[in-house]
Each structure stands twice: as structure tokens, then as C-alpha cells.
Amino acid sequence: MPGLRASSATPGVYARRSVLTGARRTAVAAASLAALTGVLVLDGPAAQAAPPTPPDAATARAELAKLTVQPEGSMDGYSRAKFPHWSTQYGQCNTREVVLKRDGENVEQDDRCAAVSGTWYSPYDGATWTDAQDIDIDHIVPLAQAWRSGASSWTTAQRQAFANDLKRPQLIAVTDRVNQEKGDKDPAQWLPPLKSYRCTYAQMWVSVKYDYKLTVDSAEKAALTGILNGC
């Protein structure tokens, strides 16, 4: 992969800007969740990459069937600034730092809440990282995708809540390069390279769109239906 070097000790694990020292985690999701004023915080070695668990495939299929199908809207008027993100959650910790702490293992933060060490497993591609700079916090349903699916009519406060949502499976720590490849594509255009995660990804996508009453286009629905029927 461009810009990556494989660890000779552990095939399939990549290091950039720092040397991989942590063990690759093999489990993603299904951790016990604790919420406090809407902010999820997991501490210590037991912390795992665990956005809120999405509904199962049967529920996702039922929710998908209820979504309005229509062509995507335009990008007219769109700006990321209209989705204020990485809001302060508590103290000096913003949404990004909360997710880095939640989804990482043995994460240490400085007095400004910035992650200075830890290990992060990216369920999109199966890579493990030890530098927070290699990690993006992905919006499962991208902001621009949400705009084209109904969020253009929301208030700024509603868009801010969407962009910082820790209560739903909408935010996840993943390899930056992979997130940048995803961009604002829907599941008809992009899916996680790690095929074993695609059911979970589809369930997360549908759950978020259903909760926020966003629309799907016909190709997007067909792709999600195909994935969920195989889960």
C-alpha cells in the first residue's frame, strides 16, 4: 500500500509515523456500553473498538424497507461548516478525542485530552495503528451524503447533533487513508475492504438513516438489500 510499510513481525499490520507495539485486536463491537449524559467513555485495557451496537440484520432489513426511496438531492449550499463537528463533550475533550479513547486500547491522553499513545484497530481494513494521526473518525453516513438525503432542510443544531452523535453507530475510528477513499460515497459506491465487516457496516448505515429519517436512492437500497440478505 502506498505510504505504508508492513511489519515483518506481524503480517497484515501496518505502521506509519510510529512502530507497532500493541497486539492486534480480533474483536470489534458487542462490548458493554455505558452512557453518561450522552457521552460514551470506556477506560483502560478492556476498551475495544465499539460504537453503539447496531440493530441485527433482520431489524435492519425491516428498517430499510421503511426508508423513503428517491434520487439524491443536490449539493447546492453544502458546506462542512453547516455540520459543526468535533464539539466539546466534557472538559477539554471533543468528540474526536472521545471516540479515539473509546475505540482504542490502552489510550493515554495529555492534559488537553489529545491521544498521545495507544493502539487502534480499524475494522474497515483490519489494520492496527499506534499513532492517532493515522486514524480518522468516520461518519458512517457522511455529512455530504446526509445533506443530499434530507439534512439540507435541518437546522444547524440538528446537523451538529448528527455530526457528533455518540448515541448511535455513526462514528468510528478507522484508517485515515481508507476513510479518505470512502469520501461521501454510499454503499452502492463503496464498502469496507474487509468483507467480514460489511454486514455490520450495512446495519450501522441503515440504523443511522432510519433514526434520522434520511432517504436512500434506488442503487443504495439495492446494495444494502444484497448485503443484509447475506447476513
Among 42-56, 165-179, 189-203, where is mean pLDDT lowest?
42-56
The pLDDT assigned to 50 comes to 77
Kindly list the distances between the CA atom of residue 124 and the CA atoms of 64, 81, 186, in Å, as whole numbers in the listed order: 22, 26, 15
pTM of the model: 0.79
pLDDT band of residue 35 (cuts 50, 70, 90) is very low
Residue 204 vs residue 40, higher pLDDT: 204
What's the rounded mean pLDDT across residues 118-131?
97
pLDDT band of residue 32 (cuts 50, 70, 90) is very low
Domain of 22? 5-229
Total number of domains constituting the chain: 1
The pLDDT assigned to 2 comes to 35
Residue 44 vs residue 126, higher pLDDT: 126
CA distance 147 to 125: 27
